[in-house]
Amino acid sequence: MRIMRIAVASASNGGLNDIVSHQFGRCPTFTIVDVRDGKIVNVKVIPNPAAQAPSGAGIQASQMLISEGVNVVIAGRFGPNASMVLAQAGICMVPIAGVRVEDAIRMFLEGRLQPIPPQYMSTQQFQDFGPGFTPGFGRGFGRGLGRGGYGRGQGRGRKRGMW
């Protein structure tokens, strides 16, 4: 039986009852769960050492999770540098925020959350992919110019006109 290790960017103190953070690199804690046969068998909370970093928080957080041996990361939004590091390590990124950590894990295990498609992982196409919870822009209205027209995807529309 293979164990899947899932890291969830947590909005405060971590744990299954915490809320999934809207941001990956600067979340205060990560809740790391081990899943075997669809059941959570172990939970641990680790502080994010990069939460207060002056720069490179996403890269530092990614490297820490790689060293923890995670297979999947769940967070509201992944920056381009963090996404490149995670993608190169073969870690699956799942964007969702504002729900309980345990609910996000269950939704992922049930197949109700989709990982970021590999074709959007390159530096040219992948810019701040996530569900677009940035204040002032709203969910999924894409306000910026993307490739070939207004970004109609999720988030702020930066370089996402292909949706």
pLDDT in tens, 74-87: 999 999 999 999 99
pLDDT in tens, 15-70: 999 999 999 999 999 999 999 999 999 999 999 999 999 899 999 999 999 999 99
Residues written for the chain: 163
How many Cβ atoms sit within 10 Å of the Cβ of residue 135?
6
Domain coordinates of the chain in residue numbers?
3-120
Tokens 């109609």 correspond to 152
51/45 Cα distance (integer angstroms): 14
Task: Give buried/exposed letters for 17-43 (b at 16+ CB in 10 A, else e).
Answer: ebbbbbbbbbbbbbbbbbbeeeeeeee
CATH superfamily for 3-120 is Dinitrogenase iron-molybdenum cofactor biosynthesis domain (3.30.420.130)
- What is this structure's pTM? 0.74
